[in-house]
Chains A and B, each alone.
Chain A
Amino acid sequence: MHELSIALQLIDQVQELAHQRNVHVVAVQIQVGELSGVVCEALQSAWELARKATSMSEVKLDIEAVEAVGYCGNCQRETEIASIQLHQCLQCGNWIERIIRGHELDIIALQVET
């Protein structure tokens, strides 16, 4: 599983951002897409483990799971897909043309002390 290495890279990034902005971080908000290849629960556990020996041992991780959204050429609009195993438009049943959301692995915001 690669969630631990992702948690370690996340800690690096947050420490760098905190340093640049000269802030004390309390919590980190991230988005994890359904198609990112990362399991939210595994990442949360990896975070608890990875933060221990760092300056961020008290920092919380808030994970927002992002559902996959595709573009349907038939409906000519964004659509939910049936599942990540079934890339069909939920409206009309056609195959979706491309994925629009679901690959996210992003840091969205830091909750910092004022």
Chain B
Amino acid sequence: MNTQTRLVEVRTKILKKNDEKARALRQRFHTHGVYVVSLVSSPGSGKTLFLEKVLKRLSSKFKVAALVGDLATENDATRLARSGVPVRQIVTGTVCHLEADMVENAIDGWDLDDLDVLLIENVGNLVCPATYDLGEDYRLVLFSVTEGEDKPLKYPTIFNTADAAIITKTDLATAVEFREDIALQSVHSVRPGLPVFKVSSKTESGLDEWISALNTRYNDS
């Protein structure tokens, strides 16, 4: 027997709950004057060393804290805690990305009035994090010179949702015959006009340029 059916229009976001939570978080961060930066990259792009150096520099001027998303281990958080700023780990288990409620839970108990900048390191993955708003103000996508100039072409969506790209490990550029012009072409092919910074966390070259861009954004926020 065939049953009669009809269409009911609903028009709503599939990730409505995450979007609403992210919006509420963003509002809460703004109320307390906290500027939030998130970082996404593949595993092995040098994100943790970058974060380590950035935390050290920022902590002389700002009250900084960091959240580190990881599938299992706590190594990154332990390493970052040496910088002396508050660091919390978000262990995601089998989940390959952070979601807004994980961020909300992770900041539980922190006095947001005592914070200027919060850095959130997403799980090492260039696909899944693109879909989830975490309530951040500034999303960075990192890729290293060792990953190849065409990385943006392979992961266009994450580059499309980012506010800036950072090319890391530039101290190795010559050794791996990295073609900067081609890398920039790839970035701008998937996201025309996206600001790109070139950084070596090891030699610290390029770090100041990015920090001063962050300063500008912070002051404008």
Q: What residues of chain A have their CB less than 8 Å away from a CB belonging to chain B? A: 1-2, 5-6, 9-10, 12-13, 17, 21, 23, 26-27, 29-30, 35-38, 84-88, 95-97, 99, 105-114
Q: List 13 A-B contacts (CB under 8 A).
A: A13-B12, A17-B12, A26-B3, A30-B14, A87-B190, A88-B189, A95-B193, A105-B13, A106-B14, A107-B12, A109-B7, A109-B9, A110-B10
**Beta-carbon contacts under 8 Å, B1-27 to A:** 3-18
Indicate whether B67 reaches chain A with its CB closer than 8 angstroms: no
Main secondary structure of the interface of B (DSSP, over half): mixed
List of A residues within 8 angstroms of B160 by Cβ: 35, 84, 99
List of A residues within 8 angstroms of B11 by Cβ: 106-109
Closest CB in chain B relative to A89 CB, distance in Å: 10
Indicate whether B106 reaches chain A with its CB closer than 8 angstroms: no
A96 adjacent to B192 (CB under 8 Å): yes
Q: Name which residue of chain A comes closest to B155, CB basis.
A: A37
Indicate whether B96 reaches chain A with its CB closer than 8 angstroms: yes
B157 adjacent to A114 (CB under 8 Å): no
Q: Name which residue of chain B comes closest to A7, CB basis.
A: B14
Contact of B188 among A95, A109, A112 (CB under 8 A): A95
List of B residues within 8 angstroms of A114 by Cβ: 3-6
B8 adjacent to A2 (CB under 8 Å): no
Closest CB in chain B relative to A86 CB, distance in Å: 5
**Chain B 94-109 against A: per-residue CB contact (8 Å), 1 yes, 0 no?**
0111000000000000
Q: How far is the CA of A111 from the CA of B10 in the complex (A)?
A: 10
**Beta-carbon contacts under 8 Å, B108-164 to A:** 127-128, 130-131, 153, 156-158, 160-161
